[in-house]
Amino acid sequence: MNDNDTDDTDATASRTDQFPAGERTSVWLGTSPTTEYAPLSGGIDVDTAVVGGGIVGVTTALQLAESGQDVALVERDRILTGVTGKTTAKLTSQHGILYDTLASTVGERKTQQYAEANEAAIDHVESRVESLDIDCGFRRLPSYAYVRSPERRSEVRQEVNAARRFGLPAEYEQSVAVDDEAVAAVRYDDQAMFHPRRYLLALAEAFLDVGGRIYEETRALDVDGGGRPVVETDRGEILADEVVLATHFPIHDTGAYFARMHPKRSYVVAVRVADPPTEAMYYYTGDQYFSVRTHDTGDEVLTLVGGQNHKTGQGGDTNERYRKVEESARRHFDVESVEYRWSTQDYASVDKVPYVGELPFSDNVYMASGFGGWGMTNGTASGLLLSDLVRGEENSWAGTYNPNRVTLDRTSATEFATQNANVAKEFVGDWLSKPHREDLRRLKSGEATVLRERTKPIAAYRDDDGELHTHSAVCPHMDCIVHWNDAERSWDCPCHGSRFEYDGHVVDGPAVSDLPTRNLDVE
């Protein structure tokens, strides 16, 4: 199975009798308190509106509020329950084997700034942890990116030399502790890991202490940029001098980012092992990556193992993805039990650098997206950069992260063409061959399918109580047909990554509206 495997949505998707083991939530959500901030009630007027309650939004909001601004943060669900709540939480500037390639695609100066931004992000988190006395398990330790093929040893040596050139603490190693197949590795010293929700919940409280406002269960629908932008929500309008879209994917896409980024999902299990590798973080950089770090819950040390990445909506049997990650964990460790399992999603830009800054053609509206799976440092750096831009202060990283940039190197152009060809293939897929209404009578509990009702594609799911849920199968973002994700019981768009619960409720953008209900009389 590889990154290009796709769902066969012409056939009924059937949930297996037994889900993979482990509680179906992240260890971060399972070991931290929930939040219950009230929703927005009517219109408000503020200096800055921050849309999105993840690491970018909370970091930006606190920075601005501490400078004396009146800041409101709005979140569609509960803060820190989205991508930030489902990370592996490696706080590192080592983003795979990156810097040698990055230097050839974006240039030496921008690569230097990228390295500095991510190292500064680690220092910023450490400073916050110390100043606010946050109990989040922050710990400095080495990080390894490694390869298993002898042919890639030269690539690793080139990466070490490039990283050192940009001031990063890189060393060459011939082996790593967690994988006997490793033949070469880049080691970065003085990286870190932490509990992201405990850290950011403390920042949210600090934000409130300096006058900030948090509104949960408030869905931002659009932004009207201009002299004083207006954020339209389902609970009232927000008038602001500046607006920051920290929404994973910008809800107001004036820069065609749907064509400049692609969504990917990956899977994590938190396992109890006999001898956990507590002294470092590890990342295998093959086509199907393998990620390892530990987390001390206070009662025990869990080992987090991740992998099985694929483009959103094109993962095939997603339960099998979990099983393969668990199998990988068992190959490398003496696993006693699986405690948690979860999946996560992120967007990757064509040149591997996030888009952070003022949104094109939208005055006083800012965005941050495209972290490529490295959102803990890039998200923190984005919060620092955005808060400077909103205040009109210079920041040396701005040119590197500029969301208006166009990268013309061959590697980025090839990535752009490949991803958009994949979208085109999904967009023109022949859904007319899908089953008809009468097939719903044979749909069993836990099964889902996309079918044809005259000229309309319908997403149908029968829950464990036998109740049938039918919605439009057309993603409201750009009209692609959604696919069923059995492991998460969600409808996922294979074009641009929007995701919806089985009841049609949107849980991830770029779509901002739900899948409309389609009532069918089939019982």
Angle at 485 between CA 484 and CA 489, to 5 degrees: 100
C-beta separation of 272 from 329 below 8 A: no
Domain boundaries, the chain: 31-87+197-259+352-415, 431-508
CA distances from 215 to 42, 80, 85 (A): 11, 13, 18
183 pLDDT tier (thresholds 50, 70, 90): very high
11 pLDDT tier (thresholds 50, 70, 90): very low
pLDDT at 12 over 80: no
pLDDT value of position 1: 31
C-beta separation of 412 from 355 below 8 A: no
What are the residues whose beta carbons fall under 8 Å from the beta carbon of 393, sequence distance 6 or more? none
3-state helix vs strand vs coil in the chain, percent to 5: 30, 30, 40
pLDDT value of position 3: 37
- Mean pLDDT over 3-7 rounds to 37
C-beta separation of 480 from 493 below 8 A: yes
For 412-470, the pLDDT digits (tens) are 555 555 544 555 455 445 454 455 556 677 788 888 888 877 778 889 998 888 888 99
Higher pLDDT, 426 or 193: 193
Please name which of 80, 62, 82 lies closest in space to residue 71, comparing C-alpha atoms: 62
pLDDT value of position 260: 87
Please name which of 259, 311, 263, 251 lies closest in space to residue 509, comparing C-alpha atoms: 251
CA distances from 462 to 10, 445, 468 (A): 17, 5, 4
Strands annotated E in 160-219? 170-173, 184-193, 213-215
Q: Specify the pairing of strand 184-193 against strand 139-147.
A: antiparallel
Supply the Cα-derived Rg of the chain in whole angstroms: 22
Q: Cite the DSSP H helix spans in 99-171.
A: 99-106, 108-132, 153-165
* Neighbour count for residue 426 (Cβ, 10 Å): 18
- Mean pLDDT over 108-132 rounds to 98
| Residue 186, phi then psi, degrees to nearest 5 | -100, 125
For 32-81, the pLDDT digits (tens) are 999 999 999 999 999 999 999 999 999 999 999 999 999 999 999 999 99
- Architecture of the structural domain at 431-508: 3-layer Sandwich (2.102)
C-beta separation of 67 from 387 below 8 A: yes
pLDDT value of position 9: 40
pLDDT value of position 340: 97
Higher pLDDT, 512 or 80: 80
* Neighbour count for residue 503 (Cβ, 10 Å): 14
Q: What is the number of H-type helices and E-type strands within the chain?
A: 10, 25
Residue 168 half-sphere exposure toward CB, CA atoms < 13 A: 34
Single-letter code of the amino acid located at 504: G
pLDDT value of position 273: 96
137 pLDDT tier (thresholds 50, 70, 90): very high
pLDDT value of position 410: 56
CA distances from 453 to 196, 435, 436, 443, 458 (A): 45, 9, 6, 16, 7
pLDDT value of position 15: 47
Please name which of 97, 47, 104 lies closest in space to residue 374, comparing C-alpha atoms: 97
pLDDT at 10 over 50: no
For 69-113, the pLDDT digits (tens) are 999 999 999 999 999 999 999 999 999 999 999 999 999 999 999
Name the percent of the chain lying above pLDDT 90.
Answer: 70
pLDDT value of position 332: 95
Return the structure tokens found at 211.
């006058």
For 295-322, the pLDDT digits (tens) are 999 899 999 999 998 888 888 889 999 9
Domain 31-87+197-259+352-415 has CATH 3.50.50.60: yes
- Mean pLDDT over 372-390 rounds to 97
pLDDT value of position 60: 98
pLDDT value of position 430: 44
pLDDT at 257 over 70: yes
Return the structure tokens found at 351.
């040149």
Higher pLDDT, 114 or 316: 114
For the chain, give the number of residues.
523
Is 486 in a helix, a strand, or coil? coil
pLDDT value of position 422: 56
Higher pLDDT, 28 or 259: 28
For 202-256, the pLDDT digits (tens) are 999 999 999 999 999 999 999 998 789 999 999 999 999 999 999 988 888 888 8
pLDDT at 173 over 80: yes
